[in-house]
A and B are shown apart, each in its own frame.
Chain A
Amino acid sequence: MSSPAETLVFLREVRLFKDIAEPELAALGASLRERPLKRGQVLFREGEVGEEMFIVLRGTIVISKPVTGRVEQVLARIGPGDFFGEMSLFDRSPRSATIQADADATLLVLDREAMRRLTELSPRAAAAFFYALVQVFIERLRASGDLVAEVTRWGLEATGLDMDSR
Chain B
Amino acid sequence: MNEADTSSTPPRRAKLELLVRHDSDEGFDVRQVGSATAFVQSRPQRVPAESWELAEMPSRMAGQPSYFLKNTTTDRFLLLTAPEKFLWEQMDGQTSMQDIATAYVLRYGAFDFDIIPALMRKLQRAQLLTLTPTSRLRKALARNRRRPLVKAIEAGLTALERINISSRNVQRVFAAMYRFGGFLLFTPIGVVACLLLAGAGLVAGVKLWREGGDIVAGFGGHALQGVLMVKLLFFLTVAAHQIVHGLALIHYRRRVREFGFTFLHGFVPTFYVDVTDIFMTSRRARVVTAVSGAVVHLVLGSAWFLVALFSPLGSFIQAFAAASGMIQWQAFVVALYPFCFIEMDGYHVLVDLLGVPTLKQEAMSWAGSLLRRGASWRIGRQEALFAFYVVLSTLSVAAFVAFNVMLIVHARS
Contact = CB atoms under 8 A, between A and B. Distances in A.
B131 A159 contact: yes
A166 B124 CA distance: 10
B26 A160 contact: no
Contacts of A154: 14-16, 35, 38
A166 B120 contact: no
Interface residues of A, number: 29
Contacts of A1: none
B17 interface: yes
B21 A70 contact: yes
Contacts of B15: 150, 154
A64 B20 CA distance: 10
Contacts of A153: 14, 35
Q: How large is the interface on B (under 10, 10 to 19, 20 to 34, 35 or more residues)?
A: 20 to 34
A165 B13 CA distance: 20
Interface string A52-83: 00000000001010010011111001000000
Contact of A102 (B13, B30, B36): B30
Given A41-B26, A153-B14, A154-B16, A161 B39 contact: no
Interface in B11-45: 13-23, 25-28, 30, 35-36, 38-39, 42, 44
B199 interface: no
Given A74-B17, A102-B30, A160 B39 contact: yes
A157 B14 contact: yes
A123 interface: no
A159 B44 CA distance: 8
Nearest to B13: A157
Contact of B117 (A67, A155, A160): A160
A147 to B, nearest CB: 10
A42 B26 contact: yes
A157 B124 contact: no
Given A42-B26, A165-B125, A166-B125, A157 B39 contact: yes
A69 to B, nearest CB: 8
B25 A40 contact: yes
B121 interface: yes
Nearest to A72: B19
A114 to B, nearest CB: 29
A158 B26 contact: no
A72 B18 contact: yes
B14 A150 contact: yes
Given A165-B121, A166-B125, A157 B35 contact: yes
A77 B297 CA distance: 50
B174 to A, nearest CB: 31
A141 interface: no
Nearest to A102: B30
Given A40-B26, A74-B30, A159 B13 contact: no
A23 B26 CA distance: 41
Contacts of A165: 121, 125
B384 to A, nearest CB: 37
A138 B143 CA distance: 42
A67 B21 CA distance: 12
A71 B18 contact: yes
A106 interface: no
A158 B125 contact: no
Contacts of B35: 153-158
Interface of A: 39-42, 62, 64, 67, 70-74, 77, 100, 102, 150-151, 153-162, 165-166
9 contacts: A67-B18, A71-B18, A102-B30, A150-B14, A151-B16, A154-B16, A157-B36, A160-B120, A162-B125
